[in-house]
Amino acid sequence: MFEQLEKNLFVFYSSNMGSNVYVLIGKTIALIDTSLKVNAFELTDALHSIGIKESDVDLILHTHAHADHIGCTALFPKAEKRMHKSDAKKVELHDARYTCSNLLNQNEYPKIDSYLKKDEIIEIKPFSLRVVYTPGHTQGSVCFYDENKRLLFSGDTLFEKACGRTDLLGGSEQQLVESLFNIQYLKFDTLLPGHGVVFKGNQQENIEAVLKTLQGKYY
Ligand SMILES: [Zn+2]
Ligand SMILES: [Zn+2]
């Protein structure tokens, strides 16, 4: 089931460890992350319920390479699949440890068509997303920032009252702290994370609280 967040924006909450999937409907149709493969039926069913067929999806943006975010990517034949190079290389190598495919019992390595570049702007009118490079949870983690709409799609970098884990292969707590400092300066009112609920409210306070839990180690 999708929940509608605004006119052109929907969220699919996975009922298990799978990631949230965001659908942006503009001049093109884009997904942000695709959950686990075991959610394929539920996800495509939800898309059909809002009138979107698999072949209608033009673009898939990945926040990072973990298996719980790439599981259904291959289901969308016409979509351009994009990811930051540092993570995409691991998908290309079928790296089961880096992508946590071994932990999550999945064997999906979708073809990535092009690499997301730091500060690149992706136009999905009426959305305009800037790629914010936020390594730490993985080496190729990114957030997508819509300055006009004041939205931040944060993947597993930031959640409400928490940040992503850094104990997995490719993780770095110090890098994550630096990334959180960087996104603290962005102006957004809505956090659209990779897991958990969409959170509206004071985002600076949220990031400060998260940083406090890591205080003393880096500053
Ligand atoms: Zn995740
Ligand atoms: Zn992750």
**pLDDT for position 217:** 61
- CA dist 59 to 113, 175, 178, 182, Å? 10, 28, 29, 26
Q: Is residue 195 part of a domain?
A: yes
CA atoms of 44 and 64, how far apart (whole Å)? 21
Q: Calculate how far, in angstroms, residue 17's C-alpha sits from the geometric centre of ligand 1.
A: 7
Q: Is residue 219 part of a domain?
A: no
User: Would you give per-residue pLDDT tens digits along the chain (219 residues)?
Assistant: 799 999 999 999 999 999 999 999 998 999 999 999 999 999 999 999 999 999 999 999 999 999 999 999 999 999 999 999 999 999 999 999 999 999 999 999 999 999 999 999 999 999 999 999 999 999 999 999 999 999 999 999 999 999 999 999 999 999 999 999 999 999 999 999 999 999 999 999 999 999 998 865 654
CA distance from start to end of the chain:
43
Indicate which ligand has the atom closest to the C-alpha of 194: 1
Indicate which ligand has the atom closest to the C-alpha of 68: 1
Q: What is the CATH number for 115?
A: 3.60.15.10
**pLDDT for position 132:** 98
Domain carrying residue 201: 2-213
**pLDDT for position 55:** 98
Indicate which ligand has the atom closest to the C-alpha of 139: 2
**pLDDT for position 126:** 95
Indicate which ligand has the atom closest to the C-alpha of 35: 1
**pLDDT for position 216:** 56
Q: Is residue 158 part of a domain?
A: yes
> pTM score, two decimals?
0.97
Region label for 193, one of left (φ > 0), alpha (ψ between -120 and 50) or beta (otherwise): beta
Q: Which of 6, 109, 129 is nearest to 59 (CA)?
A: 129
Work out how many domains the chain is built from and give that number.
Answer: 1
Q: Calculate how far, in angstroms, residue 67's C-alpha sits from the geometric centre of ligand 1.
A: 8
Q: Is residue 147 part of a domain?
A: yes
Q: Calculate how far, in angstroms, residue 122's C-alpha sits from the geometric centre of ligand 2.
A: 22
Q: Is residue 218 part of a domain?
A: no
**pLDDT for position 214:** 83
Indicate which ligand has the atom closest to the C-alpha of 87: 2
Length of the chain (residues): 219
Q: Is residue 207 part of a domain?
A: yes
Q: Is residue 107 part of a domain?
A: yes
Q: Calculate how far, in angstroms, residue 152's C-alpha sits from the geometric centre of ligand 1.
A: 16
Indicate which ligand has the atom closest to the C-alpha of 169: 2
Q: Calculate how far, in angstroms, residue 66's C-alpha sits from the geometric centre of ligand 2.
A: 5
Q: Is residue 16 part of a domain?
A: yes
Spell out the residues 6+ positions from residue 37 whose beta carbon is closer than 8 angstroms to its own: 71, 72, 106, 108
Indicate which ligand has the atom closest to the C-alpha of 164: 2
